[in-house]
Amino acid sequence: MKIAISQLNYKIGDIDGNTAKILDAISKAKNENADLVIFSELAVCGYPPKDLLDYPNFIDRCEFAINLIGENSVDIGVIIGAPSWSKLDRGKKLYNSAFFYENKKLLKRIDKTLLPTYDVFDEYRYFESNKIFECVSFRGEKLAITICEDLWNIDDEKMYKLIPMDELQKDNPTLMINLSGSPYSYNHVEKRRNRMQQNAKIYSLPLCYVNQVGGNTDILFDGGSMFINKNGDIVEECTFYHEDFKLIEWSSGSVYPDNHQDYYDYDISLIHDALLMGIRDYFGKMGFKKAVIGSSGGIDSAVVHTLAAKALGGENVRAIMMPSKYSSEGSVNDAVALAKNLNSPYRIISIEQTVKSLNLTLEEEFEGLEEDVTEENIQARSRGVILMAISNKFGYIVLNTSNKSESAVGYSTLYGDMCGGLSVIGDLYKEQVYELARFMNRSSPVIPQEIIDKEPSAELRPNQKDSDSLPAYSVLDKILFHYIEEQKGWKEIVKLGIEEDLVRRIIRLVDKNEYKRFQASPTLRISHKAFGIGRQMPIVARYNH
């Protein structure tokens, strides 16, 4: 049997556009004399469609598209993911389904059994769980077809009582197939590979695993579709972060050798490519072409500017330097040097008069009060107003430059440096930002070395340094990682050798600043606990961790 794996980049809600892509892939598979072509989970509507699933017309249009795809299944089997009406008297109205067509006939509709409701997933909100387990006979083989989470419930910490493949195994399948919508995070790639390889070994069956690729707002899909032999060896693997099409010549009587090669040997390269894809797809799928960025001469704005220039073209990223009386000449010069290196247009707009005017306006209101963080925030908010004005006037998207360390402890200003349409590095801790800068400079020094070497500073008061308010980022990031990603309490973190008062102060800052993050722009997710949809905490709460 010749099997085509079609790894595509879908746009959520663009049912016509997605269907056109799918039909093109079916035509390509036919031209290659494939017996079967497989697509990913909810391919017709894009994943995750969220509350679009609540609109009956949306489901009807998906159903129309599925029927059209079925009409194009002459002389080939097609397995495609889409939502479907459950038509049950009780329970949810929808299933997350895989439709299996051949010669214009629906051979089988397979519904997803395990519905994840954690991290970025919220499937039980919409879908009913499958209760029927049957393989599909196709051209002399028996196919056990599953959808994403259905193959994840196999480790020692099982989240569900039911194991779908245990049920399907009773029907003596010869091949496993999994339609997936598995998003990227930097600790997920190997975990996913291992989990799928484990399935092949447990059931002694080859596995066709088909994932999607592309950025859908904050969620990034890396692809990595693969064919695994029954011994758990990866025979073929699709390219990461790009659409791909693989043909598998498979015979149930053969075991194909391990052909797996790591395209990436280090996490930072995966993070780099994930962020590039996220920026490119956010702009492309939204219909925008140009970005504007506040370029301070610091490491965060430098990394965001460099990524954006790579993703969109340097000429499409406008850098605005907005010095105040506290900005060093070196910072402005470094930002200008970076813009020139990236062939980006730039402009220097001083905020001194703007800040003076605002301080004068508030002079009577603040009479008798000492200057404090309020005056610092006026500077940040002046910059935010300028960037948003340029965005409005020219139709640019403002790229936010805050990192995860700053966002976690509230070291950022609402309606100031937190403004923007997309947060590019908001899921990277400060140490990771430096690591990414060094990675991007590995072949040629695009980011001036002075930016990487200088001590971090917001430059909002004389001789200000981040270390005035925060511990060293190597320590801060360690506390934050264990609290946010590892979900450890302060006592557990203190046992790692960190001072108790510091740990408790940082955790209080994280909890206290939840209200700020609630108002932040969408953040490209590269960890398994990104702020936003992946970590939903109450704003009004009091809990001693």
Question: What residue spans define the domains of the chain?
Answer: 2-263, 276-464
Q: Is 112 a catalytic residue?
A: yes
Active-site pick, 62, 135, 148, 208: 148
Confidence class for position 157, pLDDT limits 50, 70, 90 = low
Pairing of β 234-237 and β 317-321: unpaired
pLDDT given at position 261: 66
CB neighbour burial string for 401-420, b if at least 16 within 10 angstroms, e if fewer: bbbbbbbbbbbbbbebbbbb
- The strand pairing partners of 137, in sequence order, are 142
Q: 321-330, 356-365, 497-506: which has the minimum mean pLDDT?
A: 321-330
Residue labelled with tokens 């693969």: 226
Return the SS3 of 516. Answer: helix
pLDDT given at position 159: 83
Q: What is the pTM of this model?
A: 0.93
Q: What percent of the chain has pLDDT over 90?
A: 83
pLDDT given at position 449: 94
Q: Is 32 a catalytic residue?
A: no
Sheet holding 226-228, edge to edge: 136-138, 141-147, 175-179, 207-210, 226-228, 234-237
Level-2 CATH architecture, domain 2-263: 4-Layer Sandwich (3.60)
Helix (DSSP H) and strand (DSSP E) numbers for the chain? 16, 19
Mean pLDDT taken over the chain: 93
Active-site pick, 112, 290, 488, 516: 112
Q: Is 41 a catalytic residue?
A: yes
| Closest by Cα among 61, 104, 59 to 86 | 59
d(CA 463, CA 441): 28
Class of domain 276-464: alpha beta
- pLDDT of 455 > 90? The answer is no
Convert 36-94 into a string of H (helix), E (strand) and C (coil).
EEECCCCCCCCCCCHHHHHCHHHHHHHHHHHHHHHHCCCCCEEEEEEEEECCCCCCCCE
- 30-43 pLDDT, tens digit each: 999 999 999 999 99
* Dihedrals phi, psi of 99, to nearest 5 degrees: -100, 130
